[in-house]
Homo-oligomer: A and B are copies of this chain.
C-alpha cells in the first residue's frame, strides 16, 4: 500500500492532545471535555482523517463484518449469476447492515475444497456468517468452529436457521390447483440433494396423495432449461395434464415457454404455479402465480440474529410461504 493517510497520531498532534483523547473524541467515548472534543473534530476535518478499520479491528478484537457463503455447484459464475436467489439474500441483508458500521463479505466456495474454505472463513468470522445454500455437513463444520452462524436452508439440527415452510407451501400450491378444478397436476422438481427441493417435492407428494391424484413428476434441476425440457416431456407423456406445480420460478418460466411453444394456452388449457416469487415470476408471460418465499425477510432476520449476538444452538425462526396470484392460473 502506498496510502499516506493521516493517522490518529496526526490528529492528536494537530489538535494538541494525546492519542487517547483523540480516540475518545472520535468514538464519542466518555471522559473527554467538550472543548477538546471540538479541537479533535476540527483536526479530523482539517486532515480528512478516516480511521483505519483494520487497525481498529485488531485493537478491539472484533471486526464487524458479516460473511455470506454460497457454494458454487459447478461453475460459480453460472449459479450465482443466473439464479435470482442470491441477489435477494444480499438485498435483504444490506438494509439491516446500513448504519451499523459492518461490512458484508461475500464468499463463493468451490465444491472440491469447500471444507477447508469453510474452516478458514469460520476462523476469520467476526459478527458471523449467513449460509445461503450450504449442505448440512458443511454447515455443521462451520458451526463447530464458530457458533456465529445461521443457515437459510434446512440444515443440521444444531445449526441455527431461518427457514421457510417449503413443504406446506408446495402442498398449498397443489391444493389451490385442485380447488381451481385441476385434476391432472404434474410437478417439476429441483435437484435431488437440494434441501429446499427435497421439501417441495415432499409437499407435492403429500398433497397429491391426500387428494387422490396421480403423481406426475419430472426433474428440472432448478434451471430454466430444465424446466423447459421437463415440461415438454411431461406434455408428451401425459397429454391430458391440466396444471403444473413447478418448484422454482426460473423453471416455471421455462415451463410456460414450452407449453405455449407447444401450442397450448396458459392458463386456459394448463395452469402453472411456481415457487419463490423471484424476478423470473414477473418476467414470465403470462406472469406467474407463485408461492412467495420471503427471502429478503429471511436474510434480514438472519443478519439481525448475527448482529444481536451468538444465536442459540438449534435456533429456528420460521417463515410462511404464501400464494401470490398472477395470471398463470385460471380463475
Q: Check if A282 sits within 8 Å of B224, measured CB to CB.
A: yes
Residues of B within 8 A of A241 (CB): none
Distance in Å: Cβ of A294 to nearest Cβ of chain B: 12
Give the interface segment out of A29-37, A117-125, A191-199: A117-125
Give per-residue flags for A57-70: 1 if the beta carbon is below 8 A from chain B beta carbons, else 0: 11001110100000
Residues of B within 8 A of A76 (CB): 91, 94-95, 98
Bound-complex Cα distance A280 to B81 (A):
12
Give per-residue flags for A279-296: 1 if the beta carbon is below 8 A from chain B beta carbons, else 0: 110111111000000001
- A245 in the interface (beta carbon within 8 A): no
Give the interface segment out of A13-21, A47-55, A157-165, A182-190: A47-55
On whether A120 and B90 interact (CB within 8 A), knowing A104-B106, A285-B285, the answer reads: no
Cβ-neighbour of A123 out of B5, B61, B124, B224 (below 8 A): B5
Q: Which residue of B lies closest to A126 (CB)?
A: B1
Question: How many copies of this kind of chain does the complex include?
Answer: 2
- A110 in the interface (beta carbon within 8 A): yes
Cβ-neighbour of A87 out of B63, B81, B257, B287 (below 8 A): B81
Residues of B within 8 A of A287 (CB): 257
Distance in Å: Cβ of A135 to nearest Cβ of chain B: 19
- A111 in the interface (beta carbon within 8 A): no
- A88 in the interface (beta carbon within 8 A): yes
- A209 in the interface (beta carbon within 8 A): no
Residues of B within 8 A of A250 (CB): 279, 283
Residues of B within 8 A of A91 (CB): 76-78, 80-82
Provide 14 A-B residue pairs closer than 8 Å at the C-beta atoms, listed in order of the A residue: A50-B123, A50-B124, A52-B124, A54-B58, A54-B124, A72-B94, A81-B92, A82-B91, A87-B90, A98-B108, A103-B105, A103-B107, A104-B106, A283-B284
Q: Which residues of A approach B to under 8 Å, CB–CB?
A: 1, 3, 5, 48, 50, 52-55, 57-58, 61-63, 65, 72, 75-78, 80-82, 84, 86-88, 90-92, 94-95, 98, 103-108, 110, 119-120, 123-124, 126, 146, 224, 250, 253-254, 256-257, 260, 279-280, 282-287, 296
9 closest A-B pairs (Cβ-Cβ)? A81-B91, A50-B123, A285-B285, A253-B283, A283-B283, A87-B87, A94-B108, A1-B61, A80-B91
